[in-house]
Structure formats: C-alpha cells, structure tokens
C-alpha cells in the first residue's frame, strides 16, 4: 500500500520539475450532498488541481472560518458519516488517479479507531491525512499505523511556531508540511505575504519535505504570489464559497472547475 504516499510525493516533485508550485484544493465530504461532493472533487482535478484534500466535517472545526463551518454544518445535517468520507476519497482518486488526502480533527479518528481509520483510508486509495490539532508529541500511535498502511502524516505549522518546534514537527511529518498563515486580523494583505514567506523559509531550513501554504488564497493573483515562494498553494474557502453561492449543484461544479483552472494558471505564473 506504499503507493499512496508515493503518489503524493511524486505529484509534488512533478510540479517542482515543471518549476511551479502544486495546486492543492480542499473540499468537505458530504457537501452539499455526498454525491455532489464527490463530483466536486473530480471537478477540482479536471480544472487543474494536482492534489485534493477531502475535509471530514466536524461540529467544532477550530481552524476553519465561517464559510467552511457553513458547509460542514450542511454536511452534518445531511448525515455524513466516515464511510462517506472514505467513499469520496475512493471515487475521487479512482476517477483521476490523483492523490487525495483527508483533512480531519483528531476526535473523529480517536472515536472511530486509529487502526480501522488508517486501514480503510489506505484501502480507499487515500494518500494520507492532514491533522491540524494532533500534537506531534501525541502522534506516535497514529504515525505507526499510518506508516504501516503507506499513508502520509501532514502536520500544520504556523507563524508562531519557534524554529526548534518547526524542526520537531517536520521531523515527524511526511508527504508535505502545511504552513498555515493567518488572514484578516493578523494584519494587512502585504504583511501576511511576508509572514508566510518567512514561515516557508524557516520551515525549509528544517526539512526536505515540500512546504505548502494555506493562506486564504482566493484568486489567481494571490496564488501566483504564494507560488513564488512555496512548493504548494492550498485553497479551500474560495472553492466552498463558489459552491455555496451557486444557484444549484451543476452551476456549483462548473464554478469549482473554473476556479481550479484560474488558480492553476496562477501557480504557473508564480513560477
């Protein structure tokens, strides 16, 4: 089963060999329905995403803003289950042959069972997991099972992370490093770009892993800006907002495809 994490690594290396950042799209499973959510993953890939993160909807998504919280709420009210998340991963990956990760908070995995979750994710063709709230010190059992099943463990670093802490996190992670740079209240757009650039520089000093930035990027211009210094550009809320604003599912899928195409041009421009 080691092919899953290798596919992710090869995809990121492939983007680098083209002298560009990878485009990583985020979409929650079960939103607006399980079936449409699966089609949205395919649409993001069709538009030009290199990797897709499938969100496991959670009632208390501490790192997600109001747009993703709204989508999660719709998915949860629709009765989305972990089995639906696995199905979304499987069908998105099988339709495209491209890497699909799960982004989830720790509590649902803990309740579901680590061995069961990792085995099912690997069996579905998943490339790994992004775990924003799992402290690296408490990740040993998870990493043991993830490695056994050939899954990447992606940890999140932030501008507040000290250099020694960055080194500890990146040493434990695999696949890539998710560099989260806060938007809005942390300062103006220009200073946030500088902050993210500094975080990427400091993170790269500790690891050979690609460093991908989730930064509130919503258009090609911002994607190009982040692509000029990061290995990957992660876009979530902008995709979800397009679907929330669309008059219906077909229009939502077309909007996802169009945004992915726009952002894919952006990451190439930023090379």
Active site residue ranges = 53, 64
Rounded alpha-carbon distances, angstroms, from residue 42 to 61, 118, 212, 218, 257: 24, 23, 21, 19, 9
Q: Which run of H or of E encompasses 8?
A: helix 3-17
CB atoms within 10 A of CB 62: 8
Cα separation of 107 and 99, whole Å?
24
Contact 194, 174 (CB under 8 A): no
The number of C-alpha atoms within 13 Å of 179 and in the hemisphere containing its C-beta is 28
Strands (E), 124-227: 128-130, 152-154, 156-157, 177-180, 211-214
What gap in Å lies between CA 162 and CA 167, rounded to an integer?
9
The set of residues, in sequence order, having a beta carbon less than 8 Å from that of 113 and lying 6+ positions away, is: none
Task: Give the span between the Cα atoms of 243 and 118, in whole angstroms.
Answer: 29
For tokens 């709204």, what's the residue? Answer: 70
Range list of H helices, 113-186? 114-123, 140-148, 163-172
Helix 220-227 crosses helix 249-269 at what angle (to 10 degrees)?
A: 40
């Amino acid at each position: 089963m080691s092919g899953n994490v290798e596919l992710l690594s090869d995809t990121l290396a492939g983007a680098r060999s083209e002298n560009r950042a990878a485009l990583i799209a985020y979409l929650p499973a079960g939103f607006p329905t399980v079936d449409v959510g699966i089609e949205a993953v395919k649409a993001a890939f069709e538009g030009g995403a290199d990797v897709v993160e499938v969100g496991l909807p959670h009632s208390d998504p501490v790192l997600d803003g109001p747009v993703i919280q709204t989508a999660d709420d719709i998915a949860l009210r629709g009765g989305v289950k972990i089995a639906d998340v696995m199905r979304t991963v499987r069908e998105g990956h099988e339709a495209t042959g491209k890497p699909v990760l799960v982004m989830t908070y720790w509590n649902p995995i803990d309740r579901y069972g680590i061995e069961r979750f990792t085995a099912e994710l690997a069996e579905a063709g998943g490339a790994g997991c992004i775990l924003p709230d799992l402290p690296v010190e408490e990740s040993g059992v998870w990493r043991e099972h993830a490695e056994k099943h050939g899954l990447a463990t992606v940890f999140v670093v932030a501008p507040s992370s000290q250099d020694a802490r960055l080194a500890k996190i990146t040493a434990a992670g695999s696949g890539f490093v998710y560099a989260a740079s806060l938007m809005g209240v942390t300062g103006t757009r220009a200073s946030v770009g500088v902050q993210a650039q500094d975080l990427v520089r400091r993170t790269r000093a500790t690891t050979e892993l690609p460093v991908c930035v989730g930064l509130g990027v919503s258009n090609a211009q911002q994607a190009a800006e982040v692509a000029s210094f990061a290995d990957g550009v992660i876009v979530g809320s902008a995709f979800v907002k397009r679907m929330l604003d669309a008059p219906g599912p077909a229009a939502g899928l077309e909007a996802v495809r169009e945004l992915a195409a726009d952002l894919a041009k952006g990451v190439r421009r930023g090379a």
